[in-house]
């Protein structure tokens, strides 16, 4: 399952950014993620998987807040970089379809929000 692997990655990245390390007595309320449109993440199912893998960690019960980032392609012909919003990629400058995707598949943990009281 695609989302399970992602949930584990998110958990590892969020644990690494906990103040005081993974054993700190804190609780995380929200995790902000940036996901490229091509990562094709289904928020509800990612949340379900995350709930499972985050059990018994400081991230147990944390909500995932996902911001979708655009797909950026670079034209192989004229080197122009443009946002790709259609299903078929093409260059905004010259119309070529030889597009190299330079951004849009990544998933990054942007920020974590700690709960105010334990």
Applying CB under 5 A, the residues found at the interface with Zn ion are: 75, 77-78, 80, 91, 93-94, 96
Between CA 13 and CA 22 the distance in angstroms is 11
CB of 80 to Zn ion, least distance (A): 5
**CB closer to Zn ion out of 34 and 90:** 90
H or E element, residue 63: strand 63-69
**CB closer to Zn ion out of 73 and 104:** 73
CB of 89 to Zn ion, least distance (A): 11
Q: Alpha carbon of 2 to those of 5, 27, 37, 84: distances in Å?
A: 6, 26, 15, 23
CB of 78 to Zn ion, least distance (A): 3
């Amino acid at each position: 399952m695609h989302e399970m692997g992602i949930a584990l990655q998110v958990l590892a990245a969020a644990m690494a950014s906990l103040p005081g390390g993974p054993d700190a007595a804190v609780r995380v309320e929200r995790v902000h993620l940036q996901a490229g449109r091509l990562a094709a993440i289904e928020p509800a199912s990612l949340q379900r998987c995350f709930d499972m893998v985050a059990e018994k960690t400081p991230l147990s019960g944390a909500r995932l807040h996902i911001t979708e980032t655009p797909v950026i392609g670079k034209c192989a012909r004229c080197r122009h970089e443009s946002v790709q919003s259609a299903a078929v990629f093409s260059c905004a400058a010259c119309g070529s379809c030889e597009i190299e995707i330079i951004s849009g598949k990544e998933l990054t943990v942007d920020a974590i929000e700690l709960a105010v009281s334990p």
